[in-house]
Structure 1
Amino acid sequence: MAASRLCQRTLSAFETSTRLWSPVSARYAPSQVTQQLALTSDFSLITWNIDAFSSRAIVRSRLILGSILEKTERPDIVFLQEVTSDVRSSILNNAKVREAFLVTDAEDKTSFEGVPFANMTLMSKKRFAFDLESQKEEDRVEGGSKFMLGPVSRVKLPSKYGRCALSVDIIPPSTPSIPTTTFRLINVHLDSLEHTLPYRTEQMAIIANLLREPGCGGGLVAGDFNAISPEDHALLDENGLVDAWLALHGKEGLDGATWGVGVKRRDGLGPGRLDKVAMLGVEAKEMEILRPGLIEVPQPGGDSDYMPCSDHAGLRLRFTV
């Protein structure tokens, strides 16, 4: 297995006083976690490949992000894939994101250099404590006690396209008699196209091992797995991970296709379950597919056409740690 390379990143919070994004990840250590009874906590996750290559990427990404943030119950965690540099700027300028979330890769554009796009993760300020003051503000929230945020990193993967795994650790509240254990949330976009299956095989083995590192009690991997072949769909079992969709709906259950739905492709590929959530040591409670909305595309002569906001659907998962 090719060695991966770790690149430390941060989560950043928007400071209204300075009107700037400021890193928060270095302000605490796991030993600072408030000592309290360890409880089970429910979290909600939305993951979405927002499609970098179709036209009007910023407009489309705004509509997708708007549909996520305007939900009655905002997700606690948002994973986005195929974020271009311009779309990154649009996300960082979004007033609702600034108010409610901590965001990866706000500190600089390092992750977007030399690649057409990257993935980004958003973490709810309401559900996760990012320093001691935010822990004290709301020690207990609906669904359990407030988790602390741990290290953030990008793990460079063996890849034809420069892909990496974006990892955020979360640290549950603990008592003095219970050792602090982290859980890992990994945002992925594995290599694309059929001929890169050997890369995806190696990538999944590395990513699964990240959930088994010393001090890590498991977690989840979510995003675009580019699972286009039976061999791809077998990778989770081979690496000892649970497929959240199959755990809830079974192999004969609801169709979980997230890509190519209702579209005729020249390459003959039909609808596929390219986007997934894989779990270790956490439990899936509910899961649904979020179909992309449509945007208007003006045509010559004053007419309009309509196109989906993304060629991928999103996934929403409620899970328990």
Structure 2
Amino acid sequence: MVTNGNRLWRTLSAFNHSTRRWAPIPLRNAQSQVTQKLSLISQTDTLRTQRLSLVSWNIDAFSSRPVSRAKLILGHILERTKSPDIIFLQEVTPDVRASLLDDARVRAAFLVTDAEDQMSFEDVPFATMTLLSSARFTFGLDSQKEGDEIEGGGKFMPRCVSRVTLPSKYKRDALCVDIIPPTVSDTVFRLINVHLDSLWDTLHYRSQQMEILAHVLREPGCNGGVIAGDFNAISPGDYGLVDKNELVDAWVALHGRANPDGATWGVGVKRRDGLGRLDKVAMMGLRAKEIEVRPGPIEVPRPGEKPVEIPWSDHCGLRCTFTI
């Protein structure tokens, strides 16, 4: 029997403009009220297909100017024609976390994990963070009936946030956010943001981690979800881990295994070993519709000089659209 490790329960936070601070939202305290309200809605509304977009990015904690690069990466993500509904970030340092929470674009438009304290950032060089667009996610009961302008109608409701402790050489964990689709009170999907163990000598840890995460998607009360982030798939032994745990690799589902354009690691480097697809999106109970790699350098401004182009990270970003 695979155990899913210890759970550290957290909250999502939203920026309170009246008090100018991040305030945790008591998700579990409102659970009985939420369930009652949604049960009434689900009796009268028809289940609709919902489309969500996710961007996952390892933003590289160790290269120079991590805060400046993180701001530019965030700008690159948000300034597209349509910004994503979900953002998974890996290798977030305490300084980068502070800059994200102080960013006006984040404060205005996102629900954010780990905003009320930095407990998850203690005794580790970096951690993961998840951002949910307030255009698609809400804590308000009434807005479950709103959102006709949104594809499928209505907004998702986050139910709870937790971190799953994983067997790890580097104290890695999995950041989980449970979400309830509009008008469906008894259906829960799980968003899991991961940064699996690094380097060649930790394949046995990655194998255990993937087995645990697949089990987390199959826990009682969970109808499936998505595992995305830095899988650190750097060896041939990593290639079969998604299939072994009966999950769907979104890139393979949409582009096949032989497509050479899925590499996300080694920005600007032509790889011949086929081992560059470190970042992945794996899912269960969802359907992948689109997936693309976000390549290209970013411009770093320099006062009084021409901007310089640098890689934003040693990883490219991944953008994936899927339906529930």
Deviations 1:55-110 (A, max 9, x none): 10000000000111111101000000000000000000111111110000001000
Q: Structure 2: how far apart are the matches of 1:264 and 1:284?
A: 27
Does the Cα contact within 8 Å between 1:48 and 1:223 map onto a contact in 2?
yes
Equivalent AA in structure 2 for residue 252 of structure 1 = A
Is the contact made by 2:146 and 2:154 (CA closer than 8 Å) also made in structure 1? no
Instruction: Specify the alignment match of 1:103 in structure 2.
Output: 112
Give the TM-score normalised by the residue count of structure 2: 0.90
Query: Match of 1:207?
Result: 213
Q: 1:42 aligns with which of 29, 46, 51?
A: 51
Paired position in structure 2 for 1:309: 312
Which residue in 1 is equivalent to 2:278? Answer: 274
1:161-205 CA distance string (max 9 Å, x none): 010000001112346xxx601000100000000000000000000
Change (3 A) 1:304 1:220: closer
> Secondary structure, in 3 states, of the residue corresponding to 1:119?
strand
Shift of 1:297: 8.2
CA gap 1:3/1:43 in 2 versus in 1, 3 angstroms: closer
Question: What is the aligned partner in structure 2 of residue 283 from structure 1?
Answer: 287
- Kindly indicate whether the alpha-carbon contact (under 8 Å) linking 2:260 and 2:274 is maintained by their aligned counterparts in 1: no
Report matched runs for 1:117-132 at 5 Å.
117-132=126-141
Aligned equivalents of 1:247, 1:273: Cα separation in 2: 14
Q: 1:297 to 1:160 in 2, by over 3 A?
A: farther
Unaligned runs of 5+ in 2: none
d(CA) in 2 for partners of 1:306, 1:101 = 29
TM-score (norm 1): 0.91
1:236 and 1:243 map into 2 onto residues whose CA distance is 7
Could you tell me how far 1:249 is from its partner in structure 2?
A: 0.2
Q: Say whether residues 1:218 and 2:224 are aligned partners.
A: yes
Separation in 2 of the partners of 1:84 and 1:121?
A: 14
Distance 1:127 1:197 in 2: 36
Q: 1:263 to 1:216 in 2, by over 3 A?
A: same
Kindly indicate whether the alpha-carbon contact (under 8 Å) linking 2:297 and 2:309 is maintained by their aligned counterparts in 1: no
Distance 2:220 2:315 in 1: 35
> How far apart, CA to CA, are the structure 1 residues paired with 2:266 and 2:93?
22
Which range moved further: 123-132 or 91-100? Answer: 123-132
Contact 1:292 1:314 in 2 (8 A): no
* Rounded Cα–Cα distance in structure 1 between residues aligned with 2:143 and 2:222: 23
| Corresponding residue of 1:151 | 160
The verdict on how the C-alpha distance between 1:140 and 1:55 changes in structure 2, with shifts beyond 3 A counting, is same
Pairs aligned (count): 313
Q: CA deviation at 1:118?
A: 0.2
Counterparts of 1:263 and 1:248, CA distance in 2: 24
User: C-alpha root-mean-square deviation of aligned residues, in Å?
Assistant: 2.2
- How big is the shift at 1:139? 6.7
Could you give the per-residue CA deviations for residues 110-138 of structure 1, whole angstroms, max 9, x where no partner exists? 00000000000000111112132443554
> What letter is aligned with 1:100?
A
Question: Which runs of 5 or more residues in structure 1 are unaligned?
Answer: none
Structure 1: which amino acid aligns with 2:21? L
CA change 1:27–1:20 in 2 (3 A) is farther
Find the residue that maps to 1:154 and give its secondary structure: strand
Q: Do 1:23 and 1:107's aligned partners in 2 also have CA atoms closer than 8 Å? A: yes
Cα distance in 2, alignment partners of residues 28 and 2 from structure 1: 28
